[in-house]
Amino acid sequence: MTETNLTNCDVEPIHIPGKVQSHGFLVAVNAESYTINYVSDNTTQHLDINPKDLLGQNIVKLNDRLQEIAEDVDLVDLLKLGARQNGFDTINPYKIKIKEQPFYLIIHKSNGSFVLEFEVATLEYDIQNIIGKAVSEILVNKSLDTLLKKAAQEVKSMIEYDRIMIYKFHEDGHGEVVSEVKNDDLEPFFGLHYPASDIPKQARELYKLNLTRIIADVNIDSIPISTTASNKPLDLTQSTLRAVSPIHIEYLKNMGVASSFSISLISQGELWGLIACHNYSPKFIDFKAREGCKLIGNILSSALEYRQVEENSELQNHYTNRITELTENLERDKVIVNALTGYPTTLLDIV
């Protein structure tokens, strides 16, 4: 295997890391036979069953184990329902208690497998009850700058990360912090520019497909995934538990960041930027809290499209009016220098 470093991180296969983060566990089954073909190695911790004892077995074995230590659940019924509906949006997240610990079960399909991710549910942030007010607060702002600032403020008040940044990608790929809300003791990042290589192309593509991304603790090792398909790593593009590139982990550590969370901002089908959230101690927000934040991102993305079109129209009208005035000045004054510089509207207004 080729070692990944800063010289080749733009080709790192970050969608198939072969590992998951430690705040949950993963089981994947063949979508036709329901045979378990991938298991994260921490099932021993959560289910008191060795992953090797699950691999190659029908999902019924996992279901039987859950019946013993968790609430009543029928995994086969859930998978069949998702297959009939051609997706699991109406099912996710499915709440279940395992050994008295609340979990969310999140299911998606990856190529020929159904991926079942069991993620700890903290129930700490009751975002659903405050999301309406937050959205209203964001949308009353007319200018793009105040819209972004208010969005950052609302996200910070909801999930309480130390620093919330709105990060915009420019046409050449480099990024700029165009809005920021932070704890008072932190140095500002507002206005800073970062090279395009900081977020490589394949990472940006994943941000377009999976709109939220959490890294709960950069100092905890990822959990390997065992499999019966040794030459076919599981595609974790849509995974909530997908492990993080070691290069990105090192990047965050160098910044002193212990945990991060991001929400993608999409405008006209392209990645406009990110709501990037940093915390300087380990921090985890569960699936429902992240979904609430994703709704903020979706609404902000729509507002961005509208505001940009609106502001572009206003700018175009401004230029059209200034050009008309300059044309009139040139017709009125035969001395070109005076026509371009001697009136309230000058050449500087259109350059």
This prediction has a pTM of 0.82
Q: Say whether both 107 and 160 belong to one domain.
A: no
Q: Say whether both 112 and 143 belong to one domain.
A: no
Query: Among residues 105, 120, 135, which one ends one of the domains?
Result: 120
Q: Say whether both 139 and 166 belong to one domain.
A: yes
Q: Say whether both 258 and 156 belong to one domain.
A: yes
Q: Answer with the residue of higher pLDDT: 17 or 31.
A: 31
Q: Say whether both 59 and 141 belong to one domain.
A: no
Q: Which of 26-35, 119-128, 176-185 has the lowest mean pLDDT?
A: 119-128
**pLDDT tens digits, 154-184:** 899 889 999 999 999 999 999 999 999 999 9
Query: What's the CATH code of the domain at 135?
Result: 3.30.450.40
Query: Among residues 92, 120, 148, which one ends one of the domains?
Result: 120
Q: Say whether both 103 and 199 belong to one domain.
A: no
Q: Give the rounded distance of the alpha carbon of 83 from its chain centre.
A: 25
Q: Say whether both 145 and 258 belong to one domain.
A: yes
Confidence at residue 6, expressed as pLDDT on a 0 to 100 scale: 45
**pLDDT tens digits, 224-264:** 999 987 778 999 999 999 999 999 999 999 999 999 999 99
Q: Say whether both 205 and 88 belong to one domain.
A: no
Q: Say whether both 214 and 81 belong to one domain.
A: no
In a domain, 146, yes or no: yes
When pLDDT is cut at 50, 70 and 90, the band that residue 128 belongs to is low
Q: Which of 82-96, 182-196, 303-317 has the lowest mean pLDDT?
A: 303-317
Q: Say whether both 82 and 168 belong to one domain.
A: no
Query: Among residues 71, 98, 120, which one ends one of the domains?
Result: 120
When pLDDT is cut at 50, 70 and 90, the band that residue 10 belongs to is low
Domain that holds residue 234: 127-309
Average pLDDT over residues 11-21: 86
Confidence at residue 108, expressed as pLDDT on a 0 to 100 scale: 97
pLDDT at residue 299 above 90? no
Q: Answer with the residue of higher pLDDT: 71 or 46.
A: 46
In a domain, 326, yes or no: no
pLDDT at residue 308 above 70? no
Report the 3 state secondary structure along the chain: CCCCCCCCHHHCCCCCCCEECCCEEEEEEECCCCEEEEEECCHHHHHCCCHHHCCCCEHHHHHHHHHHHECCCCHHHHHHHHHHHCCCCCCCCEEEEECCEEEEEEEEEECCEEEEEEEECCCCCCHHHCHHHHHHHHHCCCCHHHHHHHHHHHHHHHHCCCEEEEEEECCCCCEEEEEEEECCCCCCCCCCEECHHHCCHHHHHHHHHCCEEEECCCCCCCEEEEECCCCCCCCCCCCCCECCCHHHHHHHHHCCCCEEEEEEEEECCEEEEEEEEEECCCCCCCHHHHHHHHHHHHHHHHHHHHHHHHHHHHHHHHHHHHHHHHHHHHHHCCCHHHHHHCCCCCHHHHC
Q: Answer with the residue of higher pLDDT: 134 or 232.
A: 232
Confidence at residue 91, expressed as pLDDT on a 0 to 100 scale: 95
In a domain, 80, yes or no: yes
Confidence at residue 3, expressed as pLDDT on a 0 to 100 scale: 45
